[in-house]
Amino acid sequence: MINRATWPLAIKLTLVMTVMIVLTVGAVTLLSIRREQATFRTDLEQQGELLLDSLTASGADLLYRLQLTSLQNLIGGLGTTKAIVAGWVYDAQGHVLADAFSPDSPLIGAVDDSGKNLVDSPTTVFNWQDNQLLAGKAVVLGRQTIGAFRIGLSTAPLEAKMITLRDEGLLVALVASLTGIVVSILLSRTLTEPLRILTSATERAAQGDLSQTASIRSHDEVAILANSFNTMVVRLRTTIQEMQQRTDEVRRSEQELKAANALAQESVRLKSEFLSAISHELRTPLNAILGFSDLLLVGMFGPLNEQQTTKVSRLKENGSRLLLLINDLLDLSRIEAGRVEVQQKPFAPHLLIDHLTEQMESLAVQNSLIFEKSVDPTLPESLVGDEQRLEQVIVNLVSNAIKFTREGSISLKVWPDTAAQRWLISVKDTGIGIPPHALDTIFEEFRQVEGGYSRPYQGTGLGLAITRNLVRLMGGKISVTSTLDVGSTFLVELPLVVAEMSKPTI
Amino acid sequence: MSKRHLVAIVLSTLSIFLQACSSATPTPATATKQTTNANPAAATMAPTTQATSSVAGKTLTIGEIASSPSATIPKFQPLADYLAASLADAGYTAGAVKIAPDFDTMIKWLKKDEIDLIFDSPYPAMIEVDQAGVKPILRRWKGGVAIYSTILFARTDSNIQSIGDLKGKMLALEEPTSTSGYMLPKAYLAAAGLQIVEKPSVDAPVASNEVGYIFVRPDNDVDIIQWVLSGKTPAGAVNSTTFNAFSADGKKTLVVLGETEAVPRHIAMVRSDLESSVVDSIKATLLKMDSTSAGQAILTQFEKTTKFDEFPDGAAAALARMRELYKLTQ
């Protein structure tokens, strides 16, 4: 079983075109032969009609007079051209009066059916036979049919012409078919060769060989397709090379990043260790300085005059500030070094807030500010978390609020968001506010709002950085909204983990 | 190329092939067909012919002497049909025309009553009346004239200026049964005291005391004028209608030697035993034919006849004068 679907396109095209050419040429040749035949038959009938008219014109009087010899000679004279192969004359009753080509025929005088039909027919009668066309016509003078003429026109010229036409037609058909086949083969190759080249190139490209292109010399649609394919291959190759380069770069960058990260971590660790060590080493003498300052101020070593008291007080104040800075640095370094661990223990948030409120409220009052506290009663009685760190966070935020608020109030608000499994702490003040450009950096180390706002306010600049790190360690996040000269609101969101013991029993 | 397109193309090609095959269906080796006859007369006449043969009825036959039946019958057939139609009440259903090759045949046919109606000029009419007993009924204005004569003429550059100069000369005449082409000029010359003698050929000697003549038997009377102009004969005689119709330039080269008396142009005659009612009907029809357009058309086709009328002095008088002229030539 031949599977034609697998045949090459060139063979299919060649076969189709060849069949079409052969059929067309054959049909045209046959049509031509038949039309020539029809034309010849028509011409022969017209010739017979003309000859009969001529016979009637020249022989009617002879027929009327029954001058048979003259009639015989008249019709016989037509035969000299060999186009006329038979001729008869009939009287009004259809009797054969003369047979021009066989005058001794016993038919003369007999009634011939053909003659009888002729004299009774108002029209010219044609009778096609194998080798001749019999054409007959009655001769009518006035109302009287005086007889009829009948002639036989040879069809030999027709047959000869048809044979010639057939032979010529077959020759032309053969030549045309062969030419058509050759042309169709060439045409098919012309059409399919670019496709074959393109197909081969596509297959190689599909197998990963992007080093070659399809070379098509024509300027047709296939050439456009090939150009597009070549462009696609070049772009694909370029793209793959670029991707390879980028992959290498990314890989290299990743390695560099890993190294840098490791170096950074090591640096942070070393920095933290250094800070921890130096802080520890600093705190010991500093505590001694502060201790001796206190002793001096309480007169342990004798009374101090006013100037000495002032100097010692300034010494203690600066020492305390230095200690605070060292503690903050120590905290920050611990956090960055990962040495601060957040504890997950049950605690009572209500009690914590109440406790802190006592501290903060007095500080606020000292600064002529109003401290407001609001704790949602639905807040669970006991939560899981690091109470100490949480306290540090709230103290830092409230202390900051008091520090940057000259008048007005400080509001501490605590409430749960059960749906989000979080609980929230907001600290709102009516202070100087934070300019918009500083909101993004407010939580970074050693950042205070630059300019006139921060200068009057003393601090290490590490409080919010420590606060953010602590909140993150507790699995929460901190954000701030602020309007200059109106106030700021810091919002802390923490995971709501209710301690088992405080879960309501149903 | 999709399969659908491929199939469409192949089918189109096959249809062309099949069309070629179907249009080229060979005609059977033996086949008969009929085409309209090139002769319209045959096509239109044939039904009547069939009717004639299928219905028993009388046929009115007109006789005529002519060398070409095929040329003559078409001129006479409409008149025969017209008269036959007018005689339908008398039992006539068809009209026929019978062409005799010569005068003797016509006399024979007349005697056998094969001819009902015949038209002839006065001299042959006289013979037909005398030999076959036909009866003159009307005068025929053949060629548009009621009467005609004969003009005797010679070439201007000849030495013939009068009929007297014809002595010893050859005269071209038409035929022996012609009125204007034989009887009138012969009688005219005889009345002038000339002795006229028929010669066997134009080269035959003519005695100085006689006028020789030869029958040209032309297809057309004009041929006699051509004979004289070409010098075959020094003089000739043709009817006045023919001579007057000859071109003016041609006539300048001719001299008229004399003109005979005028006689009726043509005479209509019927066979002697034809019923008088039929004869009367024929006469009545012929006399009023020129009053209708249909009749005029048939008369025109009938050798440019303009009408039929009664003989001014009666038929007997017309033939009586012809008999006198005939006697003059004997």
Number of residues that this document lists for chain A: 506
Q: How far is CA A395 from CA A335, A363, A370, A463, A488, in A?
A: 18, 11, 16, 10, 16
Question: What region does A431 belong to: left with phi over 0, alpha with psi -120 to 50, or beta?
Answer: beta
Contacts of A16 in chain B (CB under 8 A): 1, 6, 9-10
Q: What is the pLDDT of residue B20?
A: 46
Q: What is the pLDDT of residue A100?
A: 74
The verdict on a CB contact (< 8 Å) between A141 and B74 is yes
Q: Which CATH number does A4-162 carry? A: 3.30.450.20
The verdict on a CB contact (< 8 Å) between A121 and B34 is yes
The verdict on a CB contact (< 8 Å) between A27 and B20 is yes
Tens digit of each residue's pLDDT, chain B (330 residues): 455 555 555 555 555 555 544 444 344 445 566 654 444 333 333 333 333 333 468 999 999 999 889 999 999 999 999 999 999 999 999 999 999 999 999 999 999 999 999 999 999 999 999 999 999 999 999 999 999 999 999 999 888 999 999 999 999 999 999 999 999 999 999 999 999 999 999 899 999 999 999 998 877 778 899 899 999 999 999 999 999 988 888 888 999 999 999 999 999 999 999 999 999 999 999 999 999 999 999 999 999 999 999 999 888 888 899 999 999 888
User: Which residue carries 């095959």 as its tokens?
Assistant: B21
Question: What is the CA angle A399-A414-A395, rounded to 5?
Answer: 20
Structure tokens at B268: 């209509």
CB B133 within 8 A of CB B305: no
Pick from B1, B23, B46: CB nearest A122:
B46
Query: Does the fold of domain A343-495 match that of domain A4-162?
Result: no
CB B217 within 8 A of CB B173: no
Domain spans of chain A, in order of start: 4-162, 211-340, 343-495
How many angstroms away from the CA of B19 is the closest CA of chain A?
8
Q: How many CB atoms lie within 10 A of CB A391?
A: 16
CB B119 within 8 A of CB B266: yes
Amino acid at A425: I
Using a CB–CB cutoff of 8 Å, tell me whether B41 touches chain A.
Answer: yes
Structure tokens at B94: 């068809």
As a whole number of Å, the end-to-end CA separation of chain B is 108
Q: What is the pLDDT of residue B25?
A: 39
Q: What is the pLDDT of residue B22?
A: 46
Q: What is the pLDDT of residue B135?
A: 95
The verdict on a CB contact (< 8 Å) between B34 and A126 is yes
Instruction: Note the pTM of the prediction, 2 decimals.
Output: 0.54
Chain B interface mutation, best of A31, A143, A165, highest count of B Cβ atoms under 10 Å: A143
Q: What is the pLDDT of residue B40?
A: 37
Q: How many CB atoms lie within 10 A of CB B254?
A: 21
Q: Please spell the DSSP secondary structure of B190-213, one letter per residue.
A: HHTT-EEEE-SSTTS---TTEEEE
How many angstroms separate the CA atoms of A214 and B241, rounded?
Answer: 104
Phi, psi of A105 (to 5 degrees): -65, 135
Q: What is the pLDDT of residue B257?
A: 95
CB B69 within 8 A of CB A60: yes
Q: How far is CA A455 from CA A405, A431, A448, B167, B260, in A?
A: 14, 15, 9, 179, 171
Q: What is the pLDDT of residues A379-418, one digit of tens each?
A: 999 999 999 889 989 998 998 899 889 899 999 999 999 9
As a whole number of Å, the end-to-end CA separation of chain A is 84
Contacts of B67 in chain A (CB under 8 A): 61
Q: What is the pLDDT of residue A267?
A: 79
Q: What is the pLDDT of residue A439?
A: 84
Number of residue pairs across A and B with CB atoms under 8 Å?
148
How many angstroms separate the CA atoms of B218 and B174, rounded?
Answer: 7
Q: How far is CA B241 from CA B7, B81, B161, B180, B246, in A?
A: 84, 29, 22, 10, 9
Residue A126 CB contacts under 8 Å (≥ 6 apart), including other chains: A45, A48, A133, A134, A135, B32, B33, B34, B35
Question: What region does B279 belong to: left with phi over 0, alpha with psi -120 to 50, or beta?
Answer: alpha
The verdict on a CB contact (< 8 Å) between B39 and A130 is no
B170-173 and B117-120 strand pairing: unpaired
How many angstroms separate the CA atoms of B243 and B255, rounded?
Answer: 11
The H or E element that residue B95 is part of is strand B92-100
Q: What is the pLDDT of residue B24?
A: 40
Chain Cα centroid distance, residue A209: 24
CB-based burial of residue A221 (10 Å sphere; 0-12 exposed, 13-18 middle, 19+ buried)? exposed
Using a CB–CB cutoff of 8 Å, tell me whether A177 touches chain B.
Answer: no
Pick from A23, A26, A143: CB nearest B96:
A143
CB A417 within 8 A of CB A376: no
Nearest CA-CA partner of B145 in B189, B190, B183, B179: B179
Beta bridge partner(s), residue A413:
A374, A426
How many angstroms separate the CA atoms of A184 and A177, rounded?
Answer: 10
Question: What is the CA angle B189-B194-B198, rounded to 5?
Answer: 80
The verdict on a CB contact (< 8 Å) between B52 and A125 is no
Structure tokens at A245: 């380069």
3-state secondary structure of A493: strand
With a cut of 70, list the residues of chain A below it in pLDDT: 1-2, 79-81, 103-110, 268, 272, 446-460, 501-506
Structure tokens at B177: 């049964």
Q: What is the pLDDT of residues B16-74, one digit of tens each?
A: 555 544 444 344 445 566 654 444 333 333 333 333 333 468 999 999 999 889 999 99
The verdict on a CB contact (< 8 Å) between B77 and A143 is yes
Question: What region does B204 belong to: left with phi over 0, alpha with psi -120 to 50, or beta?
Answer: beta
How many angstroms separate the CA atoms of A130 and A150, rounded?
Answer: 17
Using a CB–CB cutoff of 8 Å, tell me whether B22 touches chain A.
Answer: no
Contacts of A124 in chain B (CB under 8 A): 34-38
Contacts of B71 in chain A (CB under 8 A): 61
How many angstroms separate the CA atoms of A392 and A492, rounded?
Answer: 13
Residue A52: how many CA atoms within 13 Å on its side-chain side? 34
Looking at domain A343-495, its CATH class is alpha beta
Q: Which residue of A has its CA nearest to B18?
A: A27
Q: What is the pLDDT of residue B153?
A: 96
Give the max Cα distance, chain B: 113
Q: What is the pLDDT of residue B50?
A: 32
Axis-axis angle for helices A9-65, A68-78 (nearest 10): 160
User: Which residue carries 């030549």 as its tokens?
Assistant: A175
